[in-house]
Chain A
Amino acid sequence: MREAFIDTTTELLAEDPRTAVVLADISASAFAPAARRHPDRVLNVGIREQLMTGVAGGLALTGLRPYVHSYAPFLIDRAYEQIKLDLGHQDVGAVLVSIGASYDAAAEGYTHQSPGDVELLDTLDGWTVHVPGHRDEVAALLRAAARHDDRVYVRLSEQENTQAYPDAGRLQVIRRGGPLIVAVGPMLDPVLAATRDLDVTVAYTNTPRPLDAEGLRLLSEGELVMVEPYLAGTSARQVAEALSDVPHRALHLGVGRTEIRRYGTWSDHARAHGLDPASLRTRITEFMW
């Protein structure tokens, strides 16, 4: 996914003079060729994430379209007030593109992990959030973000599905059956594996914000399970609002809030948080039947 981001953004720099890239050392070497061609629009501020976001705000105030990139904990957690004030309060936009997701940097430890990034952005107004489940979904999301000036977050991960669904901005039914299970981004393959022989409807989206409320209302029949690759319950408010006049039961699965002081790989952490197929099957089955 990271390569798709670098390739697409490099193309956008050549195609659209409004495009700018702001970095804080992360991925700077990958953007070096683009920086040589567009030295005024590829800006590496060094390891200064507050400044990275402030610079993006300033660029946007002059009419440019900044793509801002780092690991999720540095891009979102560390620069939260700059996101709130230097972008939101100024009523300007940017495209924030993270790598690392919740625990891609499992061996690096909790300092390099950001399970709460989407929930942090949920405290702010006007953010579209994309969580692509496959590298082939990335380019279209980035190109769509170049055509307007709104605030967009694109959350890239190492974990990905075997198949891309490029038109999954709204809920897309992957398997039709009984109660609804919504899989966000790279959670689709684990959900499909967990429910292979269960009578459930599996719907997929790579755009949890805004959450497809109309799709939820159409597909849910009183029970639903949300499976998200970030903090469990992040979409609880959105689901409750979408189904506010419909009696329903909802189970929200995602990353737990307790810090797991272990290293390993992202798949180890997925298992520890109950997001591997076996754990998902157990939790979904207990909830549904």
Chain B
Amino acid sequence: MTLTALPADPLRPLIRRLTGDEKHAPSSYSTLDVLWVLYDKILRITPATAEAPDRDRFLLSKGHGPAAYYAVLAAKGFLPADWLDDLGGWDSPLGHHPDRMLVPGVEVGTGSLGHGLGLAVGTALGLRAQGFLDTRTFVLLGDAELDEGSNHEAIAYAAAIQLPMTAIVIDNRSATHGWPGGIAARFPGWITALVDGRDHDQIEYALSRRYDRPNLVVATVESKG
């Protein structure tokens, strides 16, 4: 097992530069290891290829608490690290929810929950229609976000048409009424994997697998609060 302490530690000073995010701090950190593995090991995207039509797509549906996202984008050179010093400021491109029109490397602007999965389905379909068959589409959600009914429209449709795409759910047990039967049970027809959301080897193994239908990776982290 590779613990988060080694590769993620360079990110923590970057996250600490982000101010004004105390309210959403737990959700910011819950995504940190998955985001790092995605950008360090999985996604075929760099600042130089951020506009390439065949780049892999990553959509952060869980738009609140984006500190870890910004820190990873800064660490990978998509945005200058000094942008992190004015989170939510008038002159800052970094808000408490990311805006694709302001932040290089951000594929979708999110914040209101339940939008990323539908956008990801459309993105995967658009890439397939244009022949980009090697390009992968990833979307990251929170377990509480699954309460939004719009997600279940996308889950059912992606399964019905066997659309290759990868959804990641960060599970920190924050859904108000929980998920009796487990989160994977909410994704019928999807290939599912459960991983330790702090274990980089497990995350990388699960995310590197490609399938001919949608797949779900549930990444469990410590409980919120």
Contact = CB atoms under 8 A, between A and B. Distances in A.
Contacts of B156: 46, 48
A125 to B, nearest CB: 13
Contact of A50 (B99, B125, B130, B150): B150
A54 B115 contact: yes
A61 B123 contact: yes
A64 interface: yes
Interface stretch (A78-86, A102-110, A177-185): A78-86
Interface stretch (B11-19, B75-83, B105-113): B105-113
B125 A51 contact: no
A51 B150 contact: yes
Contacts of A43: 125
What DSSP secondary structure best describes chain A's contact surface?
Answer: helix
B129 interface: yes
B207 interface: no
B122 A41 contact: no
Given A62-B126, A63-B130, A55 B112 contact: no
B125 to A, nearest CB: 6
Contacts of B96: none
B101 A51 contact: no
Given A89-B109, A90-B108, A61 B126 contact: yes
A68 to B, nearest CB: 11
What DSSP secondary structure best describes chain B's contact surface?
Answer: helix
Interface size, A (range): 20 to 34
Given A51-B154, A58-B119, A82-B118, A40 B125 contact: yes
A45 B120 CA distance: 14
A119 to B, nearest CB: 22
Contacts of B35: none
A82 B124 contact: no
A81 B110 CA distance: 12
Contacts of B99: 89
Interface string A144-182: 000000000000000000000000000000000000000
B37 interface: no
A20 B123 CA distance: 13
Which residue, of B99, B100, B157, has the highest number of chain A Cβ atoms within 10 A?
B157
Nearest to A41: B129
Given A48-B153, A48-B156, A90-B109, 15 more contacts: A17-B130, A40-B128, A46-B156, A46-B157, A46-B160, A51-B121, A54-B118, A54-B119, A55-B118, A58-B120, A62-B130, A64-B130, A82-B150, A85-B109, A90-B119
